[in-house]
């Protein structure tokens, strides 16, 4: 028994040595670079499908098969060859966001080299919770927090900012702070003390993570009060004022007003200065979900869309949307520095090390839901340090301009109907060929859904669907900067051709 | 004005084309592989410091300088050269977890190639929320969810599992479900309805994210009831039984009992079968934080430590701890499949697409706090498919065995005092050289703190500190499989030498 263990320990050491072998890392990494280069050229030239469509069952069976049938080997040649086969499979079954015909969700075709900088963090595992564990990842995050805050016109030392794993988590973190500030005792005592239920007041088109947040925080999804929209689907500020006055008169604590810059369905930018005026007058916390639109600050042409954003008490700005870095890299800001500790402040003493006074300020795990974080800002900081700020301005301008171009094409096409005048790179429209004259709204809606599914499963384009007040529609986000006006023409032609196939 | 815009658009297109250039990606990727290979060999041979210590201010200034001083260029040679300089800086200022003298937090020196698989997801941005956006990342996640569930003895179709961005978020998600199941109306109506405050009953050494969770969910941190520990710092099951009986008799809804496998401070494994018996008897949800210890299931030698884990209603198991993949890749399981939707179920209809019935089952964003997730299982699935299951068993066995070896060395060293008999790879001890004879407990504690800071800032070793019921101590996690018994001897010698320097 003892000798059997000895034997297996020796072989365990060999296996571990090979898994950690620096030469294997180098060779596998070189092959990966070559494979990614080939793949990227193929995808950018629309060499294959946008979405490689397999059913979940097929894909899961294949992934399971590969993990189940491994020949135990410490031979480097065999391992490199197997590594290449696995990478090839991952690429062959993925979604090709770098194909210029990808015009789908608010998830970008990222700057490829941002993914390489991200890999430095992954391979070496630079995590953050306490500064010690990720000194450079902490520094990079704080450098980028400061840089983006500069576009808000905020001064270091006055605000607080951090990076978290996505916009939904950032919204949760922001509204947790707003809840704790509004209801001072609730962190410790729970949400049982108030006489009238506390509420969240939100723009009607806010992302579904906001309602979720009300459920998570114990506020309750029924306590989410929706403010109606104006004719551009922006928050109706007259109704906002009336709603706040009514709620305050009836004694409901208001946790926050949540505005959008921009909203998910059509990319509408709320009138932030008017909303900030009303919130100030009523003494209510203003949270702005600028996950998508925050990046407009980098564009002299488009930054007017987010005028007033700097007046928010808290705001979310996703770099993994319009700053074109891989998911996830969401920035969360608090206008007042002290509020960044209102989420979890009672834990600071626990980790505080008296031999390094002042260092706890840089222990970012004290301020986020995750405790341990990835080096989530490596991609953005690396790409910024390599290409400079102008690239990010260009990316916003080129894609926002493309939204306007698509709109103009839709206006001039008799068989297409844009459902709004786009303010950015999100465009919602319907295809209504002559064959649908006289069709009911339900039939028209079903046609949009069927058309979209046919298109995405064909791999020719990838776009999404939405529903505006009961009207089913197609929805495009121009979030691959390699997409051109010619691709948009091709999109309309593809929709026409597949529409005819459905209707024939 | 118009022509100026035209001019800048042309140059913007050039800049974007270069940022997305496949040849640049390939060349930069090859250089990265070479740099990572060199770095890994240097670090594994202890060629430099474990932790490269610079103050936060110095590091932030350097990161800011690099991001601020970028020469706008579309010359590929210049860009590759700059890319190399940035990567070099990232590596030179990071923390070297692959140095065998890294014996710190519960964050592993990961399998390097897992980081390369992760990079495939980053460069191509395979995110999950709806299946369509990340078909292969979804498949890979579900394949690994099934594989790890197999070690629990669970059958596909009966349980539910998912991957999330870290153990704290997984704990939050699990206890959110427990709260919603215990207090059926609270998701919609908020936490105002119950007559007596609902409570969480936890092992006294549970991770601080559990108390946070009580604050976040609106339960209140004061409603966290701590059950005392036995002489091995495990949950005292007699006290647990009494606590539950008392709470139920007095009408407090019990959201869950939280047990540890293992606890953070000393790695104590709670007696899960006894705890499960008591929870069953009282009809209370059992949540087990097995973030660290879940991986013991892969070891025939050590799996007895987690006997009964399969009886938990929910459990957390971090692959980015003892499965040695980069952060973050936390598995969250529910024993009953239906519970996986109890967190956010009201949103399923919103995203449900009638043209693809059944597909919403695979839209994993419906079940996690993040909505959009990274392809967080790529690293684990890739490494598993490359090296096979035995490597993961080896990693657990080798590092757990090393914990026992360190303990034995401490027992035999007159100037060291182990504070417990380690059950795994976490070891807590004190260095008490003869010069401290007659020192007060406060002086002994201050010595441990000063000793640790001196060691980590020197770069010779990296270890952490803890405080057990007022006793300051040194704490080691053997979570780099390249660490050997010789390194442990060297650790004790280093502590002795630096201790003398402090005391002289």
Q: Which of B132, B270, B451, B281 is nearest to A52 (CA)?
A: B132
Residue B44 with chain A: CB contacts under 8 Å: 20, 22
Mean pLDDT value across residues B121-143:
95
* Chain A touched by B104 (CB under 8 Å): yes
> How far is residue A121's CA from residue B90's CA, in Å, rounded to a whole number?
9
The strand pair at A224-227 and A199-203 is best described as: parallel
Q: Kindly report the nearest CA distance between residue A241 and chain B, in angstroms.
A: 25
Q: Which of B60, B72, B327 sits opposite A372 (nearest CB)?
A: B327
Q: Which of B60, B120, B219 sits opposite A87 (nearest CB)?
A: B120
User: Lowest-confidence range among A163-172, B64-73, B335-344, B493-502?
Assistant: B335-344
Which H or E element spans position A176?
helix A167-182
- How high is the pLDDT of residue A350? 43
Mean pLDDT value across residues A14-27:
97
Q: Say yes or no for a CB contact (<8 Å) between A327 and B41.
A: no
Mean pLDDT value across residues B218-226:
96
Q: Kindly report the nearest CA distance between residue A29 and chain B, in angstroms.
A: 5
Q: Say yes or no for a CB contact (<8 Å) between A29 and B37.
A: yes
Nearest CA in chain B to A57: B139
Q: Would residue A370 be called left, alpha or beta, if left means φ above 0 and alpha means ψ between -120 and 50 degrees?
A: alpha
Q: In what order do the strands lie in the sheet with A416-418?
A: A416-418, A426-431, A471-477, A464-468
Across the strands, what pairs with A316? A289, A332
Tell me the pLDDT band of B195, cut-offs 50, 70 and 90: confident
Which H or E element spans position A339?
none
Residue B109 with chain A: CB contacts under 8 Å: 20, 125
Q: Which of B6, B18, B21, B26 to mutate to test the interface with A (most CBs of A within 10 A)?
A: B26
Q: Say yes or no for a CB contact (<8 Å) between B133 and A105.
A: yes
Q: Kindly report the nearest CA distance between residue B274 and chain A, in angstroms.
A: 30
Residue B138 with chain A: CB contacts under 8 Å: 56, 59
**Could you tell me which residues come within 8 angstroms of residue A250 by beta carbon, excluding any fewer than 6 positions away?**
A196
Mean pLDDT value across residues B473-496:
98
> How far is residue A333's CA from residue B372's CA, in Å, rounded to a whole number?
20
User: How far, in Å, are A55, A172, A212, B408 from residue A216 at the CA level?
Assistant: 32, 8, 6, 47
**Could you tell me which residues come within 8 angstroms of residue B113 by beta carbon, excluding any fewer than 6 positions away?**
A19, A24, A25, A28, A83, B382, B383, B386
Q: Which range has highest mean pLDDT (A202-216, A256-270, B341-355)? A: A256-270
Q: Rounded to 5 degrees, what are φ and ψ at A182?
A: -70, -40
The DSSP secondary structure of A114-161, one letter per residue, reads HHHHHHHHHHHT--BSSGGG-HHHHHHHHHHHHHHHHHTTPPTTTSEE
Residue B388 with chain A: CB contacts under 8 Å: 70-72
Q: Which of A104, A166, A192 sits opposite B191 (nearest CB)?
A: A192
Q: Rounded to 5 degrees, what are φ and ψ at A356?
A: -135, 70
Q: Say yes or no for a CB contact (<8 Å) between A79 and B386.
A: yes
Q: Which CATH number fits domain B127-387: 1.20.1530.20, 3.40.50.2000, 3.40.640.10, 1.10.10.10?
A: 3.40.640.10
Nearest CA in chain A to B125: A326
E strands present in B152-279: 160-164, 199-203, 224-227, 254-260
Is residue B325's pLDDT more than 70?
yes
The strand pair at A254-260 and A286-289 is best described as: parallel
* Chain B touched by A412 (CB under 8 Å): no
Helix (H, G, I), strand (E, B), or coil: what is residue B421?
coil
- How high is the pLDDT of residue A56? 95
Reported ipTM: the value is 0.96
- How high is the pLDDT of residue A354? 66
If 0-12 CB within 10 Å is exposed, 13-18 middle and 19+ buried, where does residue A145 land?
buried
The percent of residues in chain A predicted with pLDDT above 70, rounded, is 95
Mean pLDDT value across residues A99-117:
98
Q: Where are the alpha helices (DSSP H) in B306-459?
A: 319-322, 348-351, 378-387, 389-412, 441-458
Is residue B329's pLDDT more than 60?
yes
- How high is the pLDDT of residue B306? 98
Q: Say yes or no for a CB contact (<8 Å) between B190 and A218.
A: yes
- How high is the pLDDT of residue A69? 93
> How far is residue B490's CA from residue B460's CA, in Å, rounded to a whole number?
10
How far is residue B223 CA from its own chain's centroid? Answer: 26
Q: Which of B70, B91, B115 sits opposite A122 (nearest CB)?
A: B115
Is residue A429's pLDDT more than 90?
yes
- How high is the pLDDT of residue B340? 74
If 0-12 CB within 10 Å is exposed, 13-18 middle and 19+ buried, where does residue A72 land?
exposed
Residue A292 with chain B: CB contacts under 8 Å: none
> How far is residue A368's CA from residue B15's CA, in Å, rounded to a whole number?
35
- How high is the pLDDT of residue B353? 66
Please name the residues between 249 and 308 in chain B that touch chain A, using a CB distance below 8 Å. Answer: none
Q: Which of A147, A301, A356 sits opposite B67 (nearest CB)?
A: A147
Q: Say yes or no for a CB contact (<8 Å) between A116 and B29.
A: yes
* Chain A touched by B313 (CB under 8 Å): no
> How far is residue A384's CA from residue B72's CA, in Å, rounded to a whole number?
11
Chains A and B form CB pairs within 8 A to the count of 578
* Chain B touched by A178 (CB under 8 Å): no
User: Lowest-confidence range among A371-375, B318-322, B450-454?
Assistant: A371-375
Please name the residues between 210 and 239 in chain B that touch chain A, using a CB distance below 8 Å. Answer: 211-212, 214-223
**Domain residue limits, chain B:** 18-93, 127-387, 390-503
Is residue B2's pLDDT more than 90?
no
Helix (H, G, I), strand (E, B), or coil: what is residue B41?
helix
Q: Rounded to 5 degrees, what are φ and ψ at B230?
A: -90, -170
Task: List the Cα angle B141/B147/B151 in 5-degree steps.
Answer: 140
E strands present in A390-496: 416-418, 426-431, 464-468, 471-477
The strand pair at B199-203 and B160-164 is best described as: unpaired
Tell me the pLDDT band of A370, cut-offs 50, 70 and 90: confident
**Could you tell me which residues come within 8 angstroms of residue B129 by beta carbon, excluding any fewer than 6 positions away?**
A105, B363, B364, B365, B371, B372, B373
To which residue do tokens 């109890």 refer?
B342
Helix (H, G, I), strand (E, B), or coil: what is residue A363?
coil
User: Lowest-confidence range among A182-191, A303-312, B27-36, B121-130?
Assistant: A182-191
- Residue pLDDT, tens place only, B370-385: 889 999 999 999 999 9
The percent of residues in chain A predicted with pLDDT above 90, rounded, is 87
- Residue pLDDT, tens place only, A291-350: 999 999 999 999 999 999 999 999 999 999 999 999 999 999 999 998 877 777 554 444
- Inter-residue contact B292 to B106 (CB < 8 Å): yes
- How high is the pLDDT of residue A365? 76
- How high is the pLDDT of residue A373? 93
Residue B121 with chain A: CB contacts under 8 Å: 90, 326
How far is residue B412 CA from its own chain's centroid? Answer: 33
Nearest CA in chain A to B213: A369
Q: Which of B103, B95, B108 is nearest to B321 (CA)?
A: B108
Q: Which CATH architecture has domain B390-503?
A: Alpha-Beta Complex (3.90)
> How far is residue A63's CA from residue B371's CA, in Å, rounded to a whole number?
23
Across the strands, what pairs with B472? B467
- Residue pLDDT, tens place only, B428-438: 999 999 999 99
Mean pLDDT value across residues B114-124:
98
> How far is residue A368's CA from residue A362's CA, in Å, rounded to a whole number?
12
Is residue B358's pLDDT more than 90?
no
- How high is the pLDDT of residue A352? 56
If 0-12 CB within 10 Å is exposed, 13-18 middle and 19+ buried, where does residue B222 land?
middle
> How far is residue B503's CA from residue B500's CA, in Å, rounded to a whole number?
5
- Residue pLDDT, tens place only, A265-281: 999 999 999 999 999 99
User: Lowest-confidence range among A2-16, A294-308, A431-445, B306-320?
Assistant: A2-16
To which residue do tokens 């571990």 refer?
A16
- How high is the pLDDT of residue A4? 40
Q: Which of A24, A168, A346 sits opposite B371 (nearest CB)?
A: A168
Q: Which of B325, B304, B430 is nearest to B380 (CA)?
A: B325
Q: Which of A1, A39, A67 to mutate to test the interface with B (most CBs of B within 10 A)?
A: A67
- Inter-residue contact A445 to A431 (CB < 8 Å): no
Tell me the pLDDT band of B5, cut-offs 50, 70 and 90: very low
């Amino acid at each position: 028994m003892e000798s059997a263990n000895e034997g297996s320990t020796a072989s365990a050491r060999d296996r571990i040595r090979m898994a950690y072998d620096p030469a294997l890392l180098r060779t596998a990494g070189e092959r990966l670079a070559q494979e990614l280069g080939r793949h990227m050229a193929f995808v950018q030239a629309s060499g294959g499908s946008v979405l490689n469509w397999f059913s979940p069952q097929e894909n899961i069976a294949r992934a399971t098969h590969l993990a189940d049938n491994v020949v135990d080997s410490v031979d480097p040649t065999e391992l490199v060859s197997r590594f290449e086969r696995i990478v090839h499979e991952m690429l062959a079954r993925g979604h090709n966001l770098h194909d210029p015909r990808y015009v789908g969700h608010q998830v970008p075709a990222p700057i490829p080299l941002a993914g390489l900088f991200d890999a430095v963090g992954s391979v070496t595992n630079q995590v953050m919770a306490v500064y010690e564990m990720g000194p450079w990842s902490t520094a990079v995050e704080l450098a980028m927090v400061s840089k983006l805050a500069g576009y808000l016109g905020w001064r270091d030392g006055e605000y607080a900012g951090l990076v978290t794993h996505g916009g939904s988590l950032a919204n949760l973190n922001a509204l947790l702070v707003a809840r704790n500030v509004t209801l001072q005792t609730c962190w410790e005592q729970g949400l049982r003390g108030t006489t009238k239920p506390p509420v969240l007041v939100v723009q009607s088109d806010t992302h579904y993570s906001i309602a979720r947040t009300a459920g998570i925080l114990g506020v309750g999804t029924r306590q989410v009060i929706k403010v109606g929209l104006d004719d551009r689907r922006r928050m109706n500020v007259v109704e906002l004022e009336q709603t706040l006055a009514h709620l305050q008169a009836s004694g409901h604590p208001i946790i926050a007003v949540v505005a959008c810059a921009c909203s998910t369905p059509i990319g509408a930018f709320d009138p932030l200065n008017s909303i900030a005026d009303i919130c100030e007058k009523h003494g209510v916390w203003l949270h702005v979900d600028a996950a998508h639109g925050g990046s407009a600050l980098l564009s002299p042409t488009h930054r007017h869309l987010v005028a007033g954003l700097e007046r928010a008490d808290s705001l979310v700005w996703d770099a993994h949307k319009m700053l074109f870095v891989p998911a996830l890299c969401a920035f969360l800001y608090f206008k007042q520095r002290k509020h960044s500790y209102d989420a979890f402040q009672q834990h600071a003493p626990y980790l505080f090390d008296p031999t390094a006074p002042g260092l706890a300020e840089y222990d970012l795990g004290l301020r986020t839901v995750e405790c341990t974080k990835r080096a989530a800002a490596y991609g953005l900081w690396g790409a910024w340090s390599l290409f400079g700020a102008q690239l990010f301005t260009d990316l916003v301008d080129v894609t926002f301009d493309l939204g306007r171009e698509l709109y103009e094409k839709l206006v001039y096409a008799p068989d297409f109907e844009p459902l709004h005048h786009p303010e950015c790179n999100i465009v919602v429209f319907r295809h209504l060929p002559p064959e649908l004259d006289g069709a009911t709204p339900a039939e028209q809606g079903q046609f949009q859904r069927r058309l979209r599914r046919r298109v995405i499963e064909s791999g020719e384009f990838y776009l999404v669907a939405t529903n505006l007040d009961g009207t089913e529609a197609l929805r495009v986000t121009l979030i691959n900067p390699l997409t051109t006006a010619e691709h948009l023409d091709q999109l309309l032609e593809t929709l026409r051709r597949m529409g005819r196939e459905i209707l024939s």
